[in-house]
Chain A
């Protein structure tokens, strides 16, 4: 049995890293917002979902107009990504403006409630646009890079390389941005102490809006890549994926951007491993359908034994 597991391990790793890249980029959105506002942005999973739908819609329209065959694929993918990022980024900013900013001084419970509200509204708006235009809310998009490449016993969708590449580029870019630029410094200052940052002539509201824009744009771009990778999307994909990305953020230490990246990859690999090996390892008692449960158990375990995450610092609450 171990031999069998070992044999399938490379494939599991490749699939896991691809999925992990998705989790990691979505987890960054959670972690950035949490780091700066101490708020779990429940709507972030839905922003990811909106990104997937925007990207799919753009490709479907291009395809319908017959342009897709004439344009270079890479250009189309990049354009789609950019448009989806801009739109989801603006969406994230809008959500912050409408549902979170008025509640910045409200009791902690209240913004969570409006966040739930936002995510429900987004699910339904996307649902009825999709259902209205295509007749079904489950949409199958156009896959640009659908071909599969074989390396020995491993099969890789060529799109997976784009997922990984884009994820790495975005993460590296974000990391540089946060550490090296003026705006990034402002972001870190606001995360540390809003009032003091404001005294240092940082426009706190603008920094928070920018944070939402960037986190959401990353989520949206990941959505586009996700739709490319897995083909079929529906308005409810954001919920469970958001939950797992959040788990990844907690695993890496919430508020810590690099931690979120690491947590995403760990979770992706663990989950792929679970879905491939849970059946054989337990003699068929537990199947792949428990992979969602698996992620949840990781969340509980982290909260139990290391609530500050792998890279986070334990914060003492001061009165």
Chain B
């Protein structure tokens, strides 16, 4: 028995074996989703397959294609078998929106270490940008009868929403990021609330946001003449955007600015001493995070076709923060998992639990006071999650990994570099030692994890 274990382990390490096991698992959970009951459970299991995929040793391209096939083909096809196809796609769409937002917040909180408690404000900015101009709301303050704009222009509005949110991120960040970090938390908290109050009251003197009543009959986006109105259509839209966001975040993380973010997070003074421009680096993080949020706000407004200020409360901001903390600050797979779990908890699990308790109460089995119903307890649950994770597991469920560099590889690269450059001073030759800056930037964390650098 004992001597078989290493062989098994070695076999498990082979990409081919992993691919086969993964395929079997995926097929099983997909089949469960298609034919079994309890669709949410199977849905979760299918999502776990993506996590396993992430950890497998398959080549990167294979991973992307595989994940694409699972979420774009397998998931909708299997779910379409059930009766609740559209509501299912709706849940998945919401999940996608929140994952993208959590990824955005992760840039701010996870990478750059800036606590933004008003993240939903940028989402609101994006949403209102779309809703105002793609309903007849804009006619109230722009002369002529140009509005609503045609749904074909939705695609143009995506970058506009992104830009508006980023702009406000910079505007807010400029005064605050110069002072000490803690103020940022409370100022963003205030900003989130202020944006809501302003949208709530901007129906006079000029009716811009229609105040507390909100904006209804927002145009549906059009894609080559097809009007997008079903959840499954939005699902694909969100999927494409999510892929872009995911790709962008992943590329950013290891870019020059990404390394600068982490350096600032670990030690501002040291980072500054190493030549990292403090305010600019933080501003970029703020703007990037905000822009993802604004982008998703546009999609949200288009999907709901109705928005009002109640969708943008502080509770939503903290919900997104919970996703990031639960998953793991700075860890992309962690944040994705955290966002999926919290969204499911929020829009699927708690309402169902509430319904179940209500039926029990009406049937007279137990007497459950409605004050305690789970769907009202979001704050309690989120609060407990935040405290527990902060105290016992601040790195989250799936901790962020710092890139490590093998000493041997590094010294080999350095030797090669010395040979090719011949010791000549050429700044352009730096890329030959790719690990050096990154390893340094993450110094503190790397040392904690016993990095070999």
Contacts and interface: CB of A to CB of B under 8 A. Distances in A.
Given A239-B314, A300-B175, A303-B187, A116 B117 contact: yes
B201 A113 contact: no
B189 interface: yes
A303 B183 contact: yes
Given A113-B321, A117-B390, A243-B186, A303 B382 contact: no
Interface residues on A, range: 35 or more
Contact of B189 (A121, A243, A284): A243
B193 A299 contact: no
A237 interface: no
Interface stretch (B26-34, B96-104, B331-339, B372-380): B372-380
B394 A106 contact: yes
Contacts of B383: 116-124
A292 B205 contact: no
A289 interface: yes
Instruction: Tell which of B185, B194, B379 has the most Cβ of chain A within 10 Å.
Output: B379
Interface in B148-202: 175-176, 178-183, 185-187, 189-191, 193-194, 197-198, 200-201
Interface string A72-104: 000000000000000000000000001100110
B175 A128 contact: no
Nearest to A317: B269
A107 interface: yes
Contacts of B198: 293
B279 interface: no
B213 to A, nearest CB: 15
Contacts of A240: 193
Interface in A272-319: 284-285, 287, 289-290, 292-293, 296, 299-300, 303-304, 307, 317, 319
B390 A103 contact: yes
Nearest to B110: A109
A40 B390 contact: no
Given A108-B181, A117-B384, A123 B379 contact: yes
A50 B122 CA distance: 31
Contact of B321 (A116, A137, A285): A116
B390 A120 contact: no
B387 interface: yes
A289 B201 contact: yes
A293 B182 contact: no
Interface string A122-137: 1111011001100001
Given A107-B113, A131-B371, A303-B176, A113 B390 contact: yes
A137 B179 CA distance: 38
Contacts of A284: 205
Interface in B308-348: 314, 318, 321, 325, 329
A120 B371 contact: no
A301 to B, nearest CB: 8
Interface residues on B, range: 35 or more
A42 B188 CA distance: 13
Interface string B337-377: 00000000000000000000000000000000111100011
Contacts of A128: 371-372, 376-377, 380
A116 B201 CA distance: 27
Given A108-B181, A113-B115, A128-B372, A121 B379 contact: yes
B394 A117 contact: no
A107 B197 CA distance: 33
Given A112-B182, A117-B382, A289-B197, A299 B187 contact: yes
Interface string B380-402: 10111111111100100000000
B197 A292 contact: yes
A107 B445 CA distance: 12
B242 interface: no
A132 B371 contact: yes
Given A102-B391, A132-B371, A292-B194, A117 B386 contact: yes
B308 to A, nearest CB: 16
A98 B387 contact: yes
A239 B387 CA distance: 18
A122 B189 CA distance: 18
B132 interface: no
Nearest to A131: B371
Contacts of A107: 113, 394
Contacts of A307: 178-180, 183
A207 B38 CA distance: 54
Contacts of B321: 113, 116
Given A114-B386, A117-B390, A124-B379, A243 B179 contact: no
A250 B183 contact: yes
A246 interface: yes
A296 B325 CA distance: 27
A315 to B, nearest CB: 9
Interface of B: 109, 113, 115, 117, 175-176, 178-183, 185-187, 189-191, 193-194, 197-198, 200-201, 204-205, 269, 314, 318, 321, 325, 329, 369-372, 376-380, 382-391, 394
Interface of A: 38-40, 42, 98-99, 102-103, 106-114, 116-125, 127-128, 131-132, 137, 239-240, 243, 246, 250, 284-285, 287, 289-290, 292-293, 296, 299-300, 303-304, 307, 317, 319
**7 closest pairs, A vs B, by CB?**
A117-B386, A120-B383, A131-B371, A121-B383, A114-B390, A124-B380, A117-B387
Given A40-B186, A110-B394, A116-B383, 7 more contacts: A132-B369, A132-B372, A250-B183, A289-B200, A299-B187, A303-B187, A307-B183
27 contacts: A103-B391, A106-B394, A109-B113, A110-B390, A110-B394, A112-B182, A113-B325, A114-B386, A117-B384, A117-B385, A117-B386, A120-B318, A124-B378, A124-B379, A124-B380, A127-B376, A128-B372, A128-B377, A239-B193, A239-B314, A243-B193, A284-B205, A289-B197, A290-B201, A292-B193, A293-B197, A300-B187
